Amino acid sequence: MPTDSQKYLVGLVSPETLTAAESEELHPARIDFESCDILEIRYDFFDESEWQGLSARIRKLVPKAIQLGTIRLKRDGGTFPDARAIERLGLFEQILNASDVPEWLDLERDCLHDYDKLRELAAPKGVKILISEHNFTRIPTDLELKNYLTDVKRVKADGIKIAAMSNSDDDCSRLYKFAKRAKGFKFIAAFGMGETGKISRIWSLKEGANLTYGSIGKAAAPGQIDVALMRKAIDRLENTTSQIELSSFLNIF
């Protein structure tokens, strides 16, 4: 089980949503920011000249939110060129040298060879690291998920995430088993993408995960649900007894 029983909702910060949230106190984007427990700074969406100041800008708007920073590669669903992956450590170092920094950084599983160096950069600042994997084709097999968990435990990361494309109504069950096995991490996220994976973004929190992601403005991933609806569903999750009941609630909106 996760080391923290709270259920954390993550919202993605993009240039459009940040500018909108800064424009007025009651802007819908600002309200969405404030409804999130964690704000994910997608550095790859911003011009690199802005990177060092992003954490401070967001902290000014939502001082209580935890920040999670990532430079997502194209092959992992981001916009940062895969060919520039080798440059990310230097860029992370610049981010960590700013006056205000995220409490967490996200590193993809296929870049685990950078983990030790990133840990050396992050540890003096008290910044923790979450390892993530994205599969836009299918849910990995049980063996693949077991190997992934072994890899992340080996490096002693602080958190783990798997987001994978669901292709049937029941294939997210493998992700739920994975979440139950992923014991001892501060944050655990394990959910499906796509239409049949939509419910798992919330139901996974009943199955061993404690971290999930919603959209602020335009959805950034297939099947993503906006954070306002995610918050409503999470707040009533304790008294929700089945995925059918959860689906009926979501269909109301």
* pLDDT tens, residue order, the chain (253 aa): 676 689 999 999 999 999 999 998 889 999 999 999 999 999 999 999 999 999 999 999 999 999 999 999 999 889 999 999 999 999 999 999 999 999 999 999 999 999 999 999 999 999 999 999 999 999 999 999 999 999 999 999 999 999 999 999 889 999 999 999 998 999 999 999 999 999 999 999 999 999 999 988 765 666 678 999 999 999 999 899 998 898 888 888 7
Residue 158 lies in a domain: yes
Residue 38 lies in a domain: yes
Residue 135 lies in a domain: yes
Residue 149 lies in a domain: yes
Integer-rounded Cα Rg, in Å, for the chain is 17
Give CA separation, 59 vs 54, 99, 158, 176, 211, in Å.
9, 11, 22, 33, 21
Question: 153 is in which domain, residue-wise?
Answer: 8-252
Residue 1 lies in a domain: no
Tell me how far apart the alpha carbons of residues 28 and 123 are, in angstroms, rounded to a whole number.
35
Number of domains in the chain: 1
pTM for this prediction:
0.93
List the CATH number of the domain containing 40. Answer: 3.20.20.70
Residue 2 lies in a domain: no
Instruction: Yes or no: say if 65 and 38 are a contact pair by the CB < 8 Å rule.
Output: yes
Give the burial class of 234: count Cβ atoms within 10 A of its Cβ; 0-12 exposed, 13-18 middle, 19 or more buried.
buried
